[in-house]
Amino acid sequence: PGKTKMSLTSSRLVWRCLRSFSTGVKGWDSPNLPKGYVAEPSPVKGETKKMNLVEAIRSGLDIALQTDPTAVVFGEDVAFGGVFRCSVGLQAKYGKSRVFNTPLCEQGILGFGIGLAVHGNTAVAEIQFADYIHPAFDQVVNEAAKYRYRSASLYHCGRLTVRAPYGAVGHGGLYHSQSVESFYAHIPGITVVIPRGPSQAKGLLLSAIRDDNPTFFFEPKALYRAAIEDVPVGDYTLPLSQAEILHEGSNVTVIGYGAQIQPLRQACIVAKEQLGVSCELIDLRTIVPWDEDTIIKSVCKTGRVVIAHEDTFTGGFAGELIATIQAECFLNLEAPIQRVCSWDTPFPLVYEPFCVPSKYRCFEAIKKVVSF
Amino acid sequence: MASVLVRAVRSCTRLCAAKNWTAHGRSLSSNPGDRGWSGIQYTTDMLAGSSPHKQQVFRPMYQVLDHTGKVLDAAQVPDLSNTQLVKMLELIITVGVMDQQLYKAQRMGLISFYMMSSGEEAVVASAAALAHDDMVFAQYREPIVLYWRGYTIDQVLDQSFGNWLDLAKGRQMPVHFGSKDLHFQFISSPLSTQMPQAPGYAYGIKLSGKKNCVICYFGDGAAQEGDAHAAMNFASTRGCPVIFFCRNNGYAISTPTHDQYAGDGIVSRGPGYGMESIRVDGNDVFAIYNATKHAREVAVNEHRPVLIESMSYRLGSHSTSDDQTGYQDMNIVEQWKREYHPVIRLRNYLVEKGLWDAEREKGLLAAVSDKLKKGLNRARDEPKPHLDYLFEDVHSKLTPRLERQKREMMEHIKEYKDYYPLNQHES
């Protein structure tokens, strides 16, 4: 009462005017900045179809089941299609013995999957949310990761792949937003892969499924429906343990993975427009074993590094990247390495926009590293 | 969706109209495949079947051979050949000698660790009831199962010393044996982790169409872990050909079973999973053999898991790192050794049949003792595996990072070669 209510359009106009007089960046409203997920061209030749991340993953699972008669897909709610629809239609197509629900028990899902893989089947387990994978940690660290080592390869569970949605989704709060890759990166013996989009996801998933090491595949749930691009309909794989340079640059090496690639893309564009900075954006893709050569080569060229991930600062994977980079490229570095991460708190609900490494914080990190 | 709701409402209305709620036992669920509801009756007796603690019923244990070696029911003597029976007795006696001598070897600092299976040797009968290629997931107190299949004393010693002949290249502590040829998974220290893996492996067998099963051994302590529940639930819901064999030996290190569970042991959990469960006298090779044979038939032919709880008593300490005199009543231990040890009844039975005598036993004791003495010296003098193997088998292929770490380690060792036990390893 007593306050004049402005329309949303006019209040936005006022805000823009105010901002343009402030020291804030004008570039965030630039028409050059993409709105949402940046679709990429297909990574391999062949017929493609517009798919979102869910459809791309489903296509990968379909091909795995089709090409490998020992392949089995299982997890909570997988039979009806999965809570994120990643397995829709698969039970009808491949039968109840190959696509089925498990009881609600993550330690059981992992243990069962390990046993199935030891038998020689291709076991593709789904954990409903990465936030719920923790009861299975013992099976991962003490069993899956050590199965081959403790038997000198007489037995192994390399045919096990575990998929789980990870990361912020806008409304997930503490238990539907977690990033867990750093827990698993720490364990020798397993592979951890995080795709940035649909066409990457399908190819990396098929590689993970066919790789002879137990692999964890964390899917950025925020992109499940939001990311749409031309995905090859056929069977293809993308290499594990190989980072990818998304665009070459000469001033700053910018490293990220998964959903974080999108805010990093935007930060790089604004950095180019506003600061004239040329960024080399690299998607790590495989968290462990990670592609040290690509990263080190880039840093030796640029001398400046920004790393961003949704996981928290303390103990987040950026620490490992930074430790390696400073050891290998110390004399090439022109500035301290910047990392942009979630604050060291449990993942909050209403504070999410302030907590995550936003494109604005990523841009500020680039600015900091070039003005050292 | 609408028709499902309509049917549910209709069946509810019909039930509400019925005067006698116990009359029909009709399922409320409109889904005929829903086992959660169908077949469940109504009753006005609130406590029907509620099993209050003071009225607890204890499942009896199945026995064929009593503790003196007398056969209680001739019709249930297993169809084992004389050779197999004698092999069983010989192995039980052999393990007894191995336990004594390797315990001493640890105390003398020769091997780093050892676990005895004293009192529980009758579990060998379960191995006799399986096919040679039925996969075994064990805990650690079942080496006699591996010996039944052909694992030698020399292999035990090589594994204990972790020398270059060890199948696992010296990576694990003694007692953590395994074998691909003998279809026995490598032991891992964390308890019960093997349990949900067993139904997973068994499910693979089911999909392949092979007529095999899996057996999973675990103790009364391990049975309390979440993995144990997960295992039995997965095996039951997915229909896996797996036998869950619980060695209830009364103790988990120092913790007696009354601190471990309040119900009727492990066998009572079977019905909770919709799974057949049998309790046997764990000192009776005939009971164990029959139960395992039956369980195998159910597993292989019906693709259903079976739970066997084998009641026995741990006569030794938990391991060489434990001292049972701190918590076990040694009078009871001595009494068990005198009266209930599995070797007593089997020996009596075979002596009665003319298949065994004191001379043969003396000969066997001497032969095993000799083999152990010679084997200990040999295995101790064999070099440990090459240093390269420190980095192998982490992944399917050596990663660039591990290659770099190996190089770094080798350079460091070259410089400090007098300070590392290099001469113990293959070069």
Fill in the amino acid letter for A73.
V
Å between B151 CA and nearest CA of chain A: 16
Of A176, A219, A229, A309, which residue is the catalytic one?
A176
- With CA atoms as reference, the chain B residue closest to A215 would be B395
pLDDT at A5: 52
CB contact under 8 A, B188 and A150: yes
Of A106, A126, A143, A310, which residue is the catalytic one?
A106
pLDDT at A201: 98
pLDDT at A35: 87
Rounded to whole angstroms, how far apart are CA atoms A223 and B385?
Answer: 49
With CA atoms as reference, report the closest residue to A264 among A151, A362, A169, A130: A362
Mean pLDDT, to the nearest integer, of B172-181? 97
Q: Are B316 and B119 in contact (CB under 8 A)?
A: yes
Mutate: best of A72, A110, A134, A149, partner B, most B CBs <10 A: A149
Residue B226 has pLDDT above 50, yes or no: yes
Which residues of chain A register pLDDT less than 70?
Answer: 1-26
pLDDT at B40: 85
Residue B171 has pLDDT above 60, yes or no: yes
CB contact under 8 A, B237 and A102: yes
pLDDT at B16: 44
How many Cα atoms are found within 13 Å in the side-chain-facing hemisphere of A252?
34
Å between B29 CA and nearest CA of chain A: 19
pLDDT at B408: 98
- Judge whether B180 is closer than 8 Å to chain A, CB to CB: yes
Q: Are A358 and A308 in contact (CB under 8 A)?
A: no
Q: Which of B168, B227, B238 sits opposite A152 (nearest CB)?
A: B168
Rounded to whole angstroms, how far apart are CA atoms A307 and A257?
Answer: 9
pLDDT at B55: 87
- With CA atoms as reference, the chain A residue closest to B399 would be A289
Mutate: best of A124, A127, A151, A190, partner B, most B CBs <10 A: A151
What pLDDT digit, counting tens, does each position of A24-75 carry? 556 788 888 998 999 999 999 999 999 999 999 999 999 999 999 999 999 9
Rounded to whole angstroms, how far apart are CA atoms B164 and B174?
Answer: 14
CB contact under 8 A, B197 and A112: yes
Q: Pinpoint the alpha helices (H) of A290-346.
A: 292-302, 318-329
CB contact under 8 A, A142 and B180: no
- Judge whether B209 is closer than 8 Å to chain A, CB to CB: no
**Run of H or E residues at B286:** helix B285-302
User: Which residues 137-156 on chain B approach chain A with CB closer than 8 angstroms?
Assistant: 137
- With CA atoms as reference, the chain A residue closest to B193 would be A139
* Residue A176 among the catalytic residues: yes
pLDDT at B41: 87
pLDDT at A32: 83
Cα A257 to the center of its chain, rounded Å: 5
Whether the model clears a pTM of 0.95, i.e. scores above it, the answer is no
pLDDT at B3: 55
Residue B296 has pLDDT above 50, yes or no: yes
Cis previous bond, A289, omega within 30: yes
- Judge whether B394 is closer than 8 Å to chain A, CB to CB: yes
Which position has the higher pLDDT, B119 or B21?
B119
Q: Are A344 and A314 in contact (CB under 8 A)?
A: yes
pLDDT at B53: 86
pLDDT at A23: 47
Q: Mean pLDDT of all residues in chain B?
A: 93
Rounded to whole angstroms, how far apart are CA atoms A239 and B54?
Answer: 63
Residue B7 has pLDDT above 60, yes or no: no
pLDDT at A12: 53
What pLDDT digit, counting tens, does each position of B388-425 carry? 999 999 999 999 999 999 999 999 999 999 999 999 99
3-state class (DSSP) for residue B221: coil
Q: Which of A102, A111, A158 sits opposite B193 (nearest CB)?
A: A111
Å between B406 CA and nearest CA of chain A: 15
* Residue A186 among the catalytic residues: no
Q: Are B287 and B64 in contact (CB under 8 A)?
A: yes
pLDDT at B1: 54
User: Which residues 372-391 on chain B approach chain A with CB closer than 8 angstroms?
Assistant: 389
**Run of H or E residues at B277:** strand B276-281
Rounded to whole angstroms, how far apart are CA atoms A125 and A161?
Answer: 6
Q: Which of A111, A116, A119 sits opposite B195 (nearest CB)?
A: A111
Mean pLDDT, to the nearest integer, of B99-112? 96
CB contact under 8 A, B395 and A213: yes
A152 in the Ramachandran plot: left (φ > 0), alpha (ψ -120 to 50) or beta? left
CB contact under 8 A, A102 and B238: yes
What pLDDT digit, counting tens, does each position of B378-389 carry? 999 999 999 999
Å between A196 CA and nearest CA of chain B: 24
What pLDDT digit, counting tens, does each position of B186-195 carry? 999 999 999 9
Rounded to whole angstroms, how far apart are CA atoms B146 and B273?
Answer: 29
Q: Which residues of A260-292 are buried (b: 16+ CB within 10 A; e: fewer)?
A: bbbbbbbbbbbbbebbebebbbbbbbbbbbbbb
Q: Which of B135, B202, B394 sits opposite A188 (nearest CB)?
A: B394
- Could you say which DSSP state residue B150 is in? T
What number is the ipTM of this complex?
0.92
Structure tokens at B411: 């350079």
- Judge whether B197 is closer than 8 Å to chain A, CB to CB: yes
Q: For residue A205, with 0-12 CB atoms within 10 Å meaning exposed, 13-18 middle and 19 or more buried, which class applies?
A: buried
Q: How confident is the model at residue B17 (pLDDT cuts 50, 70, 90)?
A: very low
Rounded to whole angstroms, how far apart are CA atoms A126 and A109?
Answer: 8
Q: For residue A50, with 0-12 CB atoms within 10 Å meaning exposed, 13-18 middle and 19 or more buried, which class applies?
A: exposed
Fill in the amino acid letter for B29.
S
Mean pLDDT, to the nearest integer, of B69-98? 97
What pLDDT digit, counting tens, does each position of A43-54 carry? 999 999 999 999
